[in-house]
Structure 1
Amino acid sequence: MSFFRGQFANVVEWEEFRDDMIFWKWNNKEIKKGSKLIIRPGQDAIFMNNGRIEGIFTESGDYNIESDIIPFLSTLKGFKFGFNSGMRVEVLFVNTKVFQVKWGTKNAINIPSSQLPGGIPVRANGTFSFKVDDYITLIDQIAGIKESYVVDEVKQRISANLDQLLMKWITKEGKDLFNLQANAFEISEGIKEDLDMIILKNGLTIEEFNVMSFNYPKEIQEMITKTASHGMVGDMNRYQKIAMTEAMAKSLSEGGNKSSSAADMAGITIGMNMANEMMKQMKQSDKEGQSTQEKQQSEPPKQENTVPNFCPNCGEKTTGTKFCPNCGYKLV
């Protein structure tokens, strides 16, 4: 504890409040007798002396520091204001709200895929929320050396890890790389857990993390859309032939004018895959047709068994049964 003569403060409050500010430190002034502490809704005030927490006050309102605050401080509870002396402490104001942040990948992430040698370029965006969780850790790791801390600094910390975490959870087994939105919840939950472990070291916690959408290059997105539309009408064989023709025609017409890119490679590769698939289907159809024809040729024509009008044994008129109603002779 230190005592100084000089500038005294009548009011201790969060003077530079901003909605995106996580904490702000009040210091460099001496608190004089009769000073007040103002805590607004959504704020906590932490009294510190020489880096040590003296007391944490969470109820909003106006307080007389001498009568309402000092008696509850750890080592300063016996402090008596002198005639010309004040008490010098630091007061850390913490924003207790849950902060909502939008995020998005700055560059496309190339997801490894056996279908595309260069990988599938994917972008993603969404939201996450966080709040202060541990005051002691926050002070030890950040507030001890910073006068204030804003949301953008947390966003930068998280963004630095997002590409790696997206790659990790997208490439988990069983995910359709052309329909990542179907696994958005699982991917989001995995990233949330990993990010929480990272920022807990700073006294923060992730409340929620969401992937709102995955975005593909225009050419790949068009192929995905066509696949979905043709799949709805159940004519996939026809679509494969059309898509193969479009992809190969485009690659031939543009190949000499444009430089290679992931999109060009995607069109050529998918077109070749579709061509191979169509050839397999044609061969299979030919085999089935040939087998059916050979079977029909090898089988003797079936003769229809009809009942004669009169019994060849007794001459009695028949009634359409297999045996003569008069003599019992077998008719067929």
Structure 2
Amino acid sequence: MSFFRNQFANVVEWQEFRDDMIFYKWSNREIKKGSKLIIRPGQDAIFLNNGKIEGIFRDEGEYDIESQIIPFLSTLKGFKFGFNSGMRVEVLFVNTKEFVVKWGTQNAINIPTLGLPGGMPIRANGTVNFKVTDYIALIDQIAGVREHYVVEDVKIRITAVLDQLLMKWISREGKDMFNLQSNSFEISKGIQEDLDMQMIKSGLSITGFNVMSFNYPKEIQDMITKNASFGMVGNVDRFQQISLTEGMASGKMSGGGTASDMAGMMMGMNFANQMMNKMNQQTPNQSGPTQNPQPPSQPEAGSQKRPNFCPNCGTKTGEGNFCSNCGQKLV
């Protein structure tokens, strides 16, 4: 009796569950009468017989195998437990959650770039999401020969083809090599579609792919940063003025008083010249003497108009040049 007792199992469950484990195969033991099946949250249980699926159970809980499981199995519905005999089947427990994996290029990828014969060396990093969606493909391609499968196994498969996919989608349609982040959504979407086509053959679906950042060599990154600075200030002259001001404010130019004074004098002269130029542009016709000035015209003698009333006494004037009342000269 002890021999059979040691060979039979009372509980079928995923022992030593791990978050990074994609599936676990319970096998090499017989199930005896009265045994229980335990399905925990986030697990599916698949009963296999000779590598073929007998039944899939998705709801969490504890089940009596004889009364609640066997009646739903494809070819084992009529199985009866004997006194010293049990049912030998395999039970595959599948982790149903969506897995998130961080990835990063181990070596720089040389992207073909105009003007750079060796290509542009670029590194990238991000995340990829996947989950099990096809149990038949998973069993045929992986679970049929393995006892368990972990996230690291999938990560190795993804990184093996990721460099080629990055090169394909970065180079596609001549994208701006110096501003790849602006195209990261399109690049990520293309890589996700290609990865999904490869992984679905093994029962896995790529549910998300994200490029978080592209990293350039230090020399290239410094050039990009400086170019962005030029664009922000508008022109090189203005950039030089700002740099000179920052240098003086930070004390980096205080090594010698003469040098700092000369720099300040040059800046003052430059600012003064700019102000003068601006004033000249605003009032172009107001500077300088007027050429050939014309003196105001003087009225000719005798051309003055005779008033109607005498300005001295107010008497109405006549045709004469003097007032008839007081003798005031009228013209």
Superposition TM-score, scaled by structure 2 size: 0.71
Q: How many equivalent pairs are there?
A: 252
Deviation at 1:230, TM superposition (A): 1.2
Please give the per-residue CA displacement for 1:246-282, whole angstroms capped at 9, x wherever unaligned. xxxxxxxxxxxxxxxxxxxxxxxxxxxxxxxxxxxxx
Match of 1:27 in 2: 27
CA distance in 1, matches of 2:158, 2:97: 19
Please give the per-residue CA displacement for 1:133-177, whole angstroms capped at 9, x wherever unaligned. 100111111111111111111111110110000000001124110
Task: Give the partner amino acid of 1:194.
Answer: D
Task: Give the partner amino acid of 1:17.
Answer: F
- Contact 1:98/1:129 (<8 A) preserved: yes
RMSD: 2.7
- Contact 2:46/2:57 (<8 A) preserved: yes
- Contact 1:16/1:24 (<8 A) preserved: no
Deviation at 1:103, TM superposition (A): 0.1
Q: 1:305 to 1:46 in 2, by over 3 A?
A: farther
Match of 2:119 in 1: 119
Q: 1:239 to 1:88 in 2, by over 3 A?
A: same
Matched, 1:85 2:57: no
Task: Give the partner amino acid of 1:184.
Answer: S
Match of 2:318 in 1: none
Classify the secondary structure of the residue corresponding to 2:78: coil
Please give the per-residue CA displacement for 1:31-82, whole angstroms capped at 9, x wherever unaligned. 0000000000000000000111000000000000000100000010110100
Gaps of at least 5 residues in structure 2 are 241-290, 298-302, 304-331
4+ aligned runs moved over 6 Å, structure 1: 237-240, 304-310
Classify the secondary structure of the residue corresponding to 2:116: coil
Superposition TM-score, scaled by structure 1 size: 0.70
Match of 2:153 in 1: 153
Classify the secondary structure of the residue corresponding to 1:18: coil
Task: Give the partner amino acid of 1:233.
Answer: V
Match of 1:191 in 2: 191
Match of 1:267 in 2: none
CA distance in 1, matches of 2:85, 2:187: 58
Query: What does residue range 139-218 of structure 1 map to in structure 2 within 5 Å?
Result: 139-218=139-218
Match of 1:272 in 2: none
- Contact 2:233/2:239 (<8 A) preserved: no
Deviation at 1:117, TM superposition (A): 2.0
- Contact 1:5/1:84 (<8 A) preserved: no
CA distance in 1, matches of 2:11, 2:50: 21
Classify the secondary structure of the residue corresponding to 1:97: coil
Matched, 1:71 2:77: no
- Contact 1:44/1:95 (<8 A) preserved: yes
- Contact 1:48/1:54 (<8 A) preserved: yes
- Contact 1:227/1:239 (<8 A) preserved: no
Deviation at 1:115, TM superposition (A): 2.5
Deviation at 1:191, TM superposition (A): 0.2
CA distance in 2, matches of 1:5, 1:54: 26
- Contact 1:5/1:85 (<8 A) preserved: no
Deviation at 1:17, TM superposition (A): 1.6
Gaps of at least 5 residues in structure 1 are 241-303, 311-315, 317-332
Q: 1:308 to 1:125 in 2, by over 3 A?
A: same
Deviation at 1:116, TM superposition (A): 1.8
Match of 2:273 in 1: none
Structure number with greater Rg is 2
Q: 1:305 to 1:130 in 2, by over 3 A?
A: farther
Query: What does residue range 4-19 of structure 1 map to in structure 2 within 5 Å?
Result: 7-19=7-19
